Amino acid sequence: MNAKEAKLTAQKRAEQIKKEREERERQEAEAHAKEWRDKKANWLKYEMENFGHRIKEAVNKGQASTNIHIDTHEKEEWAEEKTFWKNFAYRAELKKVIAHYEGLGYSIVYKVKPYRNVDLSDLRDDWYTYQSILEISW
């Protein structure tokens, strides 16, 4: 093989490798997008069921409201309502769930609940995390 043939062969192989890599990246991106869509759909389904179960449970206990834990944060400012809605991965799905239950006449209020984590060892002091809570009342 002379230099000209080697150069052409190398260029063709480089183009082939590039196309194969681009195709592999495209397939991975499609698989990731499908996985994310499935996770979001499953999350929506689970939360719809969770809200319903929690309401039934509270009604059976004679309560007029219930709390649903949505997320936990290390810092209080991350749990504040404005920041929470801006950063929550399932924002659109949660808004659908809230709209559904508000349409049924429930009142839903966002709250932040501090939670004290107790360390029984001498290694560290107690610390707080902050929970994003939706209070549902009827």
Domain positions in the chain are 3-137
85 in Cβ contact with 118 (< 8 Å): no
Res. 121: pLDDT tops 90: no
Is the pLDDT confidence value at 135 over 90?
A: yes
Answer whether residue 1 shows pLDDT above 90.
no
**Which residues does residue 97 pair with via DSSP β-bridges, in sequence order?**
none
Q: Which residue has the higher pLDDT, 19 or 120?
A: 19
> For the whole model, what pTM was predicted?
0.68
